[in-house]
Amino acid sequence: MEMIHGMSLVVMTAAIVWLSAMFLCKKIRISGRNHSNRRSSSSSRLPLGSLGIWPFVGETLQFISCAYSDRPESFMDKRRRMYGKVFKSHLFGSATIVSTDAEVSRIILQSDAKTFVPSYPKSLMELMGKSSILVINGGLQRRIHGLIGSFLKSPTLRSQITTDMRNYVMESMAKWSEHSPVYIQDEAKHIAFQVLVKALISLDGGDEMELLKKHFQEFIAGLMSLPFNFPGTQLYRSLQAKKKMVKLIDGIIRAKRESNNIWSDAAKDVAEVLAKDTSEELTDDLIAENLIDLMIPGEDSVPLLITLAIKYLSHSPPALKQLTEENLQLKRHKEKLGEPLSWNDYLSLPFTQTVITETLRMGNIIIGVMRKAVKDVEIKGHLIPKGWCVLAYFRSVHLDDKLYDFPYQFNPWRWQDKETSNCNFTPFGGGQRLCPGLDLARLEASIFLHHFVTQFRWEAEDDSIIHFPTVRMKRRMPVWVTRRRYLQPFTSLLSNKN
Ligand code: HEM
């Protein structure tokens, strides 16, 4: 067995306990092993690789140990060298084909539920629930995806979200002190969660919001927990917290349905969009469950995008200088016009967008997506047997030195005049499940960066990125800020006096 590098005893023990638990919870399914020499009717064959020496555990410990180290891709790199970009393994209790090949992953992403269905570790599936958009397939998934996607593109929502995000950012930044560190990760989480909850259910601060946040934090703590569900376990606590959230949100949806305005006025949040839909499948519980899942990017992906951008910029003075100049120029221009910045203004800054793109490439906030084959599938000569999982692993593609020169260097300039919509760059997935929140994520990051660099200079304390089970900063990214002092324009001095 491969040596386990850099994995603490605690993590190792946790992983072993997790795997033993999985082993006890499920019937051992090692049917995948029967495929080892299998050939399909055509010339495709099972990719090379190893299923590990232990049944069920397979190569999970090696995967986790690398994921926790500061070189998380070493698991993949080693196997890519030995077996090629597509190889077989056995991860988290399932025989798995891992794709680190951009073209193969593209085909997986483009496939529909007749070929692949989403499949994630048991505790995650249980917490998301059977009706989560991340799990459901076919017409219902397309319907919910379409409703959310078009609402997030609507001009009214865009202008509301821009104003909300700007207000929350300015409110938070006004409280920052120069005499104690600001924890960027915490600040970004606080802001992004508020923005999303407002867009989802129009809750804007207050006791209900605080209660929801408390339950949500308990819920999210269980996303990668042991698959034990009885009183005292994290999974149990998280499921209880989800029940309380569903009840709270059900109440909000019921109140919306009972008010006459919901039918006459344009929808003002995602809950109303889904509640107005006439399909009987969209029950209040299904809507509530999906709204909860939609809060996850507010607590996790978006704040991490913001935090990582600031982390990378802290170590790249030329990039920070160009970004600051671009944003200061826009700020002065809009001040002259006496207008606030709009959605389009924030997203129109070319260098700021390349900074965000480069952060997405290097940060790999979502390392990849998992599916299960519902029949034998052949892609580029590789056989993926029915019942096997497939992991389309984006991280290896984003850090491939054949595709990106010096891939570990933060280089936003590499994106100048370069297309971002290709299969070598898939931070938001692709195909039917392409993230409907991708523009929103970029907007939130742009607004935060704009106000941060135009209002502050900062010194970052040492911190490092943890890559597993979710990407985050070890010390929550502490920075020491100094406010930029601007000479106030004469006109604003006059108006301040009044
Ligand atoms: C940096 C931020 C984000 C990243 C990196 C990200 C990444 C992803 C990825 C990779 C997928 C595809 C999952 C799959 O194929 O199984 C996805 C799906 C999804 N994302 Fe995001 N996301 C982000 C922000 C958001 C935001 C702000 C929202 C909006 C509320 C959102 C809503 C969704 C939804 C609803 C899906 C499921 C789509 C479906 O299965 O039909 N995401 N996201």
**Residue whose CA lies nearest to ligand 1 atom number 42:** 437
435 is in an annotated binding site: yes
Residue 15: per-residue pLDDT: 44
Look at residue 178 and tell me whether its pLDDT is greater than 50: yes
Overall average pLDDT of the 41-51 stretch: 83
Per the DSSP assignment, residues forming a β-bridge with 391 are 98, 370
- For residue 120, the CA-to-ligand 1 centroid distance in Å is 15
Q: Which helix (H) or strand (E) holds 394?
A: helix 394-398
Q: In which residue are the tokens 């499949």 written?
A: 119
User: What is the predicted pLDDT for the residue at 279?
Assistant: 84
Question: What is residue 487's predicted lDDT score, i.e. its pLDDT?
Answer: 53
Average pLDDT over residues 72-95: 95
Measured between alpha carbons, how far is 150 from 148 in angstroms, rounded to an integer?
6
Contacts of 496 (CB under 8 A, 6+ apart): 488
Question: The domain at 139-361+418-497 falls in which architecture?
Answer: Orthogonal Bundle (1.10)
**Residue 176, φ and ψ in degrees, nearest 5:** -65, 140
Q: Which of 193-202, 263-272, 447-456, 469-478 has the lowest mean pLDDT?
A: 263-272
> Which neighbouring-strand residues pair with 98?
87, 391
Higher-pLDDT residue of 279 and 169 is: 169
pLDDT over 70 percentage in the chain:
88
**pLDDT score recorded for residue 42:** 54
Determine contact, residues 291/298, Cβ cutoff 8 Å.
no
Count of CA atoms in the C-beta half-sphere (13 A) of 385: 22
pLDDT for 414 equals 97
Distance 428 CA to ligand 1 centre (A): 6
Q: What is the DSSP letter of 42?
A: S
Q: Which residue has the tokens 């997506």?
A: 369
Q: Taking 70 as the threshold, does the pLDDT of residue 459 lie above it?
A: yes
CATH class for domain 9-129+368-398?
alpha beta
Residue 467 burial class via C-beta count within 10 angstroms: exposed 0-12, middle 13-18, buried 19 and up: buried
pLDDT digits (tens, 9 = 90+) for 205-222: 888 889 999 999 999 888
DSSP letter for each residue of 259-325: STHHHHSPP-SHHHHHHH---TT--HHHHHHHHHHHHHHHHTHHHHHHHHHHHHHHT-HHHHHHHHH
Q: How confident is the model at residue 191 (pLDDT cuts 50, 70, 90)?
A: very high
Q: What is the pLDDT of residue 488?
A: 53
Task: Tell how far the Cα of 135 is from the centroid of ligand 1, in angstroms.
Answer: 12
Cβ of 309 less than 6 Å from ligand 1: no
Residue-level pLDDT at 43? 64
pLDDT at 9: 33
Check for a shared fold between 9-129+368-398 and 139-361+418-497. Answer: no
Give nearest CA residue, ligand 1 atom 26: 437
Checking if the pLDDT of 352 tops 60, the result is yes
What is the predicted pLDDT for the residue at 485?
Answer: 85
Pick from 435, 442, 448, 449 the residue to mutate for probing ligand 1's pocket: most ligand atoms within 8 Å of its CB.
435
Of the two residues 432 and 13, the one the predictor is more confident about is 432
The residues spanned by each domain of the chain are: 9-129+368-398, 139-361+418-497
| pLDDT confidence of residue 55 | 84
Instruction: Give pLDDT, residue 418.
Output: 86
- Which atom of ligand 1 is least distant from the CA of 118? 16
CA distance 352 to 149: 24
Residue 57 host element (H or E): none
Distance 458 CA to ligand 1 centre (A): 31
Mean pLDDT of 95-102: 97
User: In the structure, what pLDDT confidence band is assigned to residue 17 with cuts at 50, 70 and 90?
Assistant: very low
Q: Whose CA is nearest to atom 33 of ligand 1?
A: 435
Lowest mean pLDDT among 185-194, 218-227, 231-240, 249-258: 218-227
Å from CA of 118 to ligand 1 middle: 13
The pLDDT of residue 496: 39
The per-residue pLDDT of the chain, averaged, comes to 88
Can you say whether residue 129 is alpha, beta or left, with left for phi > 0 and alpha for psi between -120 and 50 degrees? left
- Give the pLDDT band of residue 242 (cuts 50, 70, 90): very high
- Burial readout 103-122 (b: 16 or more C-beta within 10 A, e: otherwise): ebbbbbbebebebbbbbbbb
Of the chain, the percentage scoring pLDDT greater than 90 comes to 71
Band (323; pLDDT cuts 50, 70, 90): very high
